Amino acid sequence: MRFFHLSDLHIGKLLNSYNLKDMQIDVLDKTIELIKEYRPDAIIIAGDVYDKSVPSAEAYEIFDDYLTKLSKIEPSIPVLIIAGNHDNAQRLAYAKSFFKMHNIHVSVMPPQTKEEHLEKITLHDEYGAVNFYLLPFTKPSYVRNLVDCNEPLTYNQAVEYLIKRENIDYSERNVLIAHQFFIAGDSSPEKCDSELAYISVGGVDSVDTKCVENFDYVALGHIHGPQKIGKDYIRYSGTLLKYSVSEERHNKSITMVTLNEKENGASYELIPVKSFRDVRSVKGTIDEVIKMANEDNRDDYVSITLTDEHLFRPKDILDEYYNNILEVRVDNQRTRKKLEDVEISDTSLTPYEAFTEFYQEMNGQPMSEEEEKVFNEILLKIQEEV
């Protein structure tokens, strides 16, 4: 049996205020073409369909159009979707019964009562049954009513309990779809800036791969870089798009999994998916950075670091050569010295004075009136909360 493993579509995400709608539609359409080419037996989307718990109307339209295109492929291909930590269960489950009629299966919450179980979809090939278990993003509080214990549960205990109570027959071939932060003992997956805010300090939300090692394949979502964790068959597929500059070296792809007969396990292949616009960083003097711009890359989303010693309104100059500048940083002797002196800086400066001085040093120009207004509003909110 062959299936596509995708995750973390993050439909509706903005990149430094830039709308990624066109890029998201583009890569989703490319997956449709690859599905038609490779004809997988199933398609897995392992959580974080949307970027926000309250998606925009535009985000709904993008995903609805994608599901419509999937449902039109003949013969029909089962689509298995779980909710991630960014998804709102009720909103993702909207029209769930209608989706099921079109071979689209959506699971948004783990079992809440003792009568409920993980959603299980069984498909067949020449070697027999393959059982797909759908485990949406799970917090310990979600399963509290199922456990006869007065002590608080950990994330690891919650996931382990949910799997054990299924009494899975591991003599058959079984696939788990999950959206959690998995570790393998002392080994953690490689992370990037775009996901660090959703992973707890100290790893309190981590789940050890030991509790899922009996599956024949574990299709994970949550981490943006494609990679295995622990065993080769426990894998994050990663995102289809680069959602931060820290992902610039990622090779985005679909994980195509081939599940052989039980004794031969699973094999996989990463099918490249490339957007028409890249996300990357450039560094050098302003003249060097300008020379790097050409017709093929000027529309990329770029983070620029300038090494010149003296600059005046560099972004205004660079806007003529790059159409989608994420940020302009300055890294020269003055800024490095400023960072070195942070601990002994003049503490008599007000927060406003300290920030305006820092902004001037880093950007080579003062804040605009609009930026000053936004910063003052932030300061006011902080003062009200203290």
* Lowest mean per-residue pLDDT among 150-154, 348-352, 370-374: 348-352
Give me the pLDDT at residue 312, please.
85
- Residues 334 and 316 grouped into a single domain: yes
pLDDT level of residue 200 (50, 70, 90 thresholds): low
- Residues 135 and 213 grouped into a single domain: yes
- Residues 121 and 212 grouped into a single domain: yes
Cβ-based neighbours of 159, under 8 Å, separated by 6 or more: 135, 138, 178, 180, 207, 211, 212
pLDDT, tens digit, 9 for 90 and up, residues 88-99: 999 998 888 889
- Domain coverage including residue 52: 2-272
Higher pLDDT, 239 or 190: 239
Give me the pLDDT at residue 134, please.
98
* Residue 146 · residue 169 · CB < 8 Å: no
The pair phi, psi for residue 135, each rounded to 5°, is -115, 95
- The domain tally of the chain equals 2
- Residues 202 and 221 grouped into a single domain: yes
Give me the pLDDT at residue 62, please.
97
Residue 284 C-beta-side C-alpha neighbours within 13 Å: 11
* Residue 155 · residue 182 · CB < 8 Å: no
Give me the pLDDT at residue 344, please.
47
Give me the pLDDT at residue 195, please.
66
Distance (Å, whole) CA 369 – CA 386 = 26
- Residues 164 and 302 grouped into a single domain: no
pTM: 0.85
pLDDT, tens digit, 9 for 90 and up, residues 66-106: 999 999 999 999 999 999 999 999 999 888 888 999 999 99
Q: Given 251, 272, 293, which residue is the final one in a domain?
A: 272
pLDDT, tens digit, 9 for 90 and up, residues 234-280: 999 999 999 999 999 999 999 999 999 999 999 999 999 999 999 99
Q: Residue 184 has which token pair?
A: 């393998």
Give me the pLDDT at residue 355, please.
79
- Residues 149 and 228 grouped into a single domain: yes
pLDDT level of residue 331 (50, 70, 90 thresholds): confident
pLDDT, tens digit, 9 for 90 and up, residues 119-130: 999 999 999 999
pLDDT level of residue 306 (50, 70, 90 thresholds): very high
Q: Which amino acid is at 50?
A: Y
Give me the pLDDT at residue 147, please.
86
- Residues 210 and 337 grouped into a single domain: no
Q: CA separation (Å) from 54 to 49, 86, 92, 94, 194?
A: 12, 9, 10, 13, 19
Q: Given 272, 288, 313, which residue is the final one in a domain?
A: 272
Give me the pLDDT at residue 197, please.
60
Give percent above pLDDT 90 in the chain: 73
Q: What share of the chain is helix, strand, coil (3-state, %, to 5)?
A: 35, 25, 40
Q: Residue 201 has which token pair?
A: 């300090």
- Residues 223 and 333 grouped into a single domain: no
Q: What is the DSSP string of 183-218?
A: EBTTB-----HHHHTTS-GGGTTEEEGGGGTTSSEE
Give me the pLDDT at residue 145, please.
86
Question: Measuring CA to CA, which residue among 241, 255, 272 is closest to residue 22?
Answer: 241
Mean pLDDT, the chain, whole residue set: 90
Average pLDDT rounded to a whole number, residues 161-179: 97
- Residues 134 and 256 grouped into a single domain: yes
Q: Which residue has the tokens 């109570």?
A: 165
Q: Given 272, 292, 313, which residue is the final one in a domain?
A: 272
- Residues 89 and 210 grouped into a single domain: yes
For the chain, strand residue ranges (E) read 2-6, 14-15, 18-19, 42-46, 79-82, 104-107, 119-125, 128-135, 173-179, 181-183, 206-208, 217-221, 227-229, 231-236, 253-259, 266-272, 279-284, 301-306, 324-330
Distance (Å, whole) CA 213 – CA 159 = 13
Distance (Å, whole) CA 362 – CA 28 = 38
Q: Which residues pair with 127 in a beta bridge?
A: none
Distance (Å, whole) CA 46 – CA 83 = 7
Give me the pLDDT at residue 358, please.
73
- Residues 100 and 248 grouped into a single domain: yes
Q: What is the DSSP letter of 161?
A: H
Residue 362 clears pLDDT 50, i.e. is over it: yes
Q: Residue 110 has which token pair?
A: 């783990």
Residue 3 clears pLDDT 50, i.e. is over it: yes
Residue 201 clears pLDDT 50, i.e. is over it: no
Give me the pLDDT at residue 334, please.
66
In the sheet that 231-236 helps form, which strands lie side by side, from edge to edge?
119-125, 128-135, 173-179, 217-221, 231-236, 227-229
Residue 386 clears pLDDT 50, i.e. is over it: no
pLDDT level of residue 348 (50, 70, 90 thresholds): low
Average pLDDT rounded to a whole number, residues 104-120: 95
CATH of the domain at 93: 3.60.21.10
Give me the pLDDT at residue 144, please.
87
- Residues 94 and 203 grouped into a single domain: yes
